[in-house]
């Protein structure tokens, strides 16, 4: 059974993002990936993809103005599959449990929608992300040769099939 640690979680709330949040999303995206998604890609997830979900982790400053986006997750709910399409945390706020919160949210939503399998692809060289997913219980089930460009690279295919509401 997957067990997600909660001890180091920073106090963030997870909520759906909108078009007006995309400047903040794109700043994190560009700081996180060699081949980042652009605004049109995020817009189409928000506006044109009936399967798509985009959620952010927001930190409310106790004294300062407003809230700050620290990370986001994009996923698709396609019948019994939860497909993780994008995940990033602001470089200054990594290793604080924020991605774990986001994935935990997505998996909980997936359970509510009846998904039984969570799937993702990750660059072979992205050891941080591979370790992150592994720490959450995802396991490698395949590899796609030369799947990514810029730079050319294999994709590692990972999945999680064993989770339930007690894990959250």
Point out which residues bind ligand COA (CB under 6 A).
5, 8, 32, 87-89, 94-100, 122, 126, 128-129, 131-132, 135
Q: Which of 72, 75, 105, 133 is catalytic?
A: 133
Q: Of 2 and 114, which CB lies nearer to ligand COA in the complex structure?
A: 2
Which residues, including other chains, have CB under 8 Å from residue 141's CB and lie 6 or more apart?
157, 158, 159
Tokens of 120: 């993702």
Three-state secondary-structure class, residue 77:
strand
| 133 given a catalytic annotation | yes
* CA distance to 29, 31, 53, per residue, from 44 (Å): 16, 21, 11
Q: Of 4 and 22, which CB lies nearer to ligand COA in the complex structure?
A: 4
Residue 108 CB, shortest distance to ligand COA, in Å, is: 15
Task: In whole angstroms, give the CA distance from residue 138 to residue 158.
Answer: 6
| 81 given a catalytic annotation | no
Task: In whole angstroms, give the CA distance from residue 55 to residue 15.
Answer: 5
With beta carbons less than 8 A apart as the criterion, state whether 71 and 99 touch. Answer: yes
- Give bridge partners of residue 7 from the DSSP assignment: none
Residue 79 CB, shortest distance to ligand COA, in Å, is: 22
Residue 52 CB, shortest distance to ligand COA, in Å, is: 16
Q: Which of 121, 147, 148, 153 is catalytic?
A: 121
CA angle 160, 164, 168 (to 5 degrees): 100
Q: Of 115 and 138, which CB lies nearer to ligand COA in the complex structure?
A: 138
Residue 39 CB, shortest distance to ligand COA, in Å, is: 18
Active-site residues, by number, are: 121, 133
């Amino acid at each position: 059974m997957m067990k997600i640690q909660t001890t180091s979680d920073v106090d963030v709330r997870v909520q759906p993002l909108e078009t007006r949040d995309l400047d903040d999303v794109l700043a994190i995206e560009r700081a996180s990936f060699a081949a980042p998604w652009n605004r049109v890609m995020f817009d189409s997830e928000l506006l044109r993809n009936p399967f798509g979900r985009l959620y952010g982790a927001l930190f409310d400053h106790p004294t300062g103005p407003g809230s700050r986006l620290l990370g986001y997750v994009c996923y698709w709910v396609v019948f019994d599959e939860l497909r993780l399409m994008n995940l990033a945390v602001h470089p200054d706020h990594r290793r604080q449990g924020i991605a774990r919160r986001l994935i935990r949210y997505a998996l909980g939503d997936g359970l509510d929608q009846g998904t039984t399998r969570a799937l993702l692809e990750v660059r072979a060289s992205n050891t941080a992300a591979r370790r992150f997913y592994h720490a959450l219980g995802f396991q490698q089930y395949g590899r796609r040769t030369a799947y990514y460009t810029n730079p050319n690279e294999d994709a590692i295919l990972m999945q999680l099939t064993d989770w339930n509401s007690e894990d959250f």
